[in-house]
Chains A and B, each alone.
Chain A
Amino acid sequence: MEAVTPTPARTSKVTSVEEAVARLVPDTSESLWVGGMHMHNVPMSLVRECIRQGKRFETLYAGPSSSMAADLLIGAGLVERVVCGYIGYEHMGLAPVFRRAVEERIDGVESVGLREVVEADSGSMVLALQAGASGQPFAALPPGLGNTSLPAASPSFYRVVRNPFAGTEALAVEAIRPSVALIHCQQADEFGNGIFKGSPFTDRLLALAGRTVIMQVEQLVDNDQALRYPAQTGVPGFLVAAVVPVTFGCHPTSSHRYYNYDDVHLRLYMQAAETREGFEQYLAEYVLQPEDQEEYMRRVQNQDWGAMRESDT
């Protein structure tokens, strides 16, 4: 019997970084969650493009552990409220812009527009995200958090509920479904089937919970890659609104197995951002002025891109 070829072609989700942000991120979104963790797997090209296009976010979920993405977005004045699990640079130090935004605010009002820091924790944020992905209204927390200052500090984030089974009190957090979720996979096919070549961090859950998921990838691969090893596809394509291929797009954070974080550039940023003027200059030079990733890479002076490229899989 002759094989029948399906006639309609499947639609590719491959999009340029400019178009993905312009088309899929509203000018003002309720909330944003950026994937990756610490200085790893952070889709920085998408973050820089959001800043270039002046996209505003009422709430930024900075967890489980965020670093430069949160710092840049806050410094650019695009975030009103941050739910803070962790913003910092591990062994490299504290987040300079986040620090200044909080420490130098006058009468509770900070000039960059950050109006509220909700003190939170990574575990509760991830349980809230899981509730969001599952359609649960809230997530009850394990016992113990009442021993900390968190519930009293953030009564909008942590609420007391009654455990109907034991009849005792428990703390709960409201489900989180970020309006926009930006994630990074090292590889994906044109339909958005994303493959993690290293740690998936929290990004599989984030892809399930996010209302609009944009995936930045280092390398486009053939659909065969997904078909041949489907268990390695961490994010199935139907969850993804757009696939954005950007070489070295996570710089200066890492893309697992492709390149490591650039701590020379991170230090350059952290030192520049010590002052407001320094931060503005960095923002202009590395975020606002470069028209594309190639221009950004040209401006990153110290990097031997060729040497990094050889580590491609």
Chain B
Amino acid sequence: MSDDYKPVLRPGSDPLVFFPLPGADQQAEIAKGHIMACAIAHALEDGELVVMGANSLLPMAAARLAQQTHAPNLTIIAGASGGVNTLVEPLVPSSGDYANLVAEAVLQFPEVLMLQMSGHADAFFAGGLQVDRHGNCNLAYVGEAAHPTLRGPGSAGVPWAQQSARTILYTTSHTRRVFVPKVDFVSYPGWNAPTHSAQRGGPHLVVTPLAVMDFSDSGEMRLASLHTGVSLEQVRENTGFDLVLPEGDVPTTPEPSTLELRLLRQMDPDALLTVVV
């Protein structure tokens, strides 16, 4: 082993080499995953610091895309593995994967949490078993504490997303089971939390397979755009509360540009983005 130790991707360091996901080789024209990644990418700005949590394929694709288009000075921290400005390619589904360590620096996980808890991050990504009209997220359980009907994984690092300047919520499932009037447990606090200020703490964007939502001045979830081919009725049917509607016609979420699609396919030759949603 030499001093200039450099991690090299080897056979066996990519699960897809040995364990292909079903359908991973199917390249859809434009997949929901592509549209969602682009919507998140457009919400990230040059010079910002973004921190990924678990299961972060979509935000990782988005942040890498932002770096390669409008935000060359964006800094990405790949949550679990601690990789800073990872060049992971092909994209991998696990945030703790060794592949994320093709990077500029490797932080210990407590250091990642410290950055998150101290408010260094400009954007963090969250989601959960349930999301409600104020953007509260639940990762703990559905039902009553004593008799939950669904036990989730636990709140993990998501409570500290509120320390970031902005939180972007995303979910790969837009249903009434996820979008409920009121969450059963608050892992991440939405806009009705007692100490949120208008500037900091609350969620700013919600990206789903059907639509993009933001929040009204009173902190209620508002439809911002519908993805191509999705009707307003479809979103209403799959949302457990009344979304605030924008004035006038509801815009369509921009389709990925030719360049964006090429970049996404380049970093994702296994087409995970086409099967993640």
Contacts and interface: CB of A to CB of B under 8 A. Distances in A.
Interface string A213-225: 0000000000001
A256 interface: yes
A62 B154 contact: yes
Interface string A83-118: 011111011001100110011010010000000000
A37 B153 CA distance: 14
B275 to A, nearest CB: 10
Interface stretch (A43-51, A196-204, A278-286): A196-204
B159 interface: yes
Interface string A241-263: 00000000000001011111111
A88 B154 contact: yes
B101 interface: yes
A38 B156 CA distance: 11
Interface of A: 37-40, 62, 64-65, 84-88, 90-91, 94-95, 98-99, 102-103, 105, 108, 119-123, 126-127, 129-130, 141-150, 153, 198-202, 204-205, 225, 229, 232, 254, 256-264, 304, 307-308, 310-311, 313
Interface string B137-168: 00011000111111111111111101100000
A95 B19 CA distance: 20
Contacts of A257: 7, 10, 13, 98
Nearest to A257: B98
Given A103-B149, A142-B117, A260 B98 contact: yes
A188 to B, nearest CB: 14
Prevailing SS type, chain B contact patch? loop
A108 B163 CA distance: 35
B253 to A, nearest CB: 23
Most chain A beta-carbon contacts within 10 A, residue among B116, B148, B156, B188: B156
B1 A225 contact: yes
B154 A87 contact: yes
A119 B155 contact: yes
A311 B156 contact: no
Contact of A88 (B97, B145, B153): B153
Interface string B37-75: 000000000000000001101000000000000000000
B93 A102 contact: no
11 contacts: A38-B80, A40-B98, A65-B96, A84-B154, A86-B156, A102-B141, A122-B155, A144-B160, A144-B189, A201-B96, A304-B18
A65 B15 contact: no
Nearest to A103: B151
Contacts of A229: 1, 3
B81 interface: yes
Interface residues of B, number: 66
- Between B110, B119, B152, the greatest number of chain A beta carbons within 10 A of the residue's beta carbon is seen for B110
Contact of A122 (B96, B108, B113, B147): B113
Interface in B200-225: 201
A86 B141 CA distance: 12
Most buried by A among B150, B152, B158, B187: B152
A261 B93 CA distance: 12
Interface in B104-124: 106, 108-110, 113, 116-119
Nearest to B150: A103
Contacts of A64: 109, 113, 156-157
A311 B12 contact: yes
A256 B5 CA distance: 15
Contact of B160 (A121, A198, A264, A311): A121
Interface stretch (B28-36, B191-199, B234-242, B254-262): B191-199
Nearest to A253: B96
Nearest to B161: A144
Contacts of B160: 121, 123, 142, 144
A126 B147 CA distance: 28
B108 A204 contact: yes
B159 A144 contact: yes
A37 B96 contact: yes
A62 B156 CA distance: 10
Given A90-B94, A103-B151, A148-B155, A311 B13 contact: yes
B182 to A, nearest CB: 12
Given A144-B160, A199-B109, A259-B12, A149 B54 contact: no
Interface string B261-277: 00000000000000010
Contact of A147 (B19, B83, B193): B193
B117 A123 contact: yes
A260 B15 contact: yes
B153 A147 contact: no
B108 A201 contact: yes
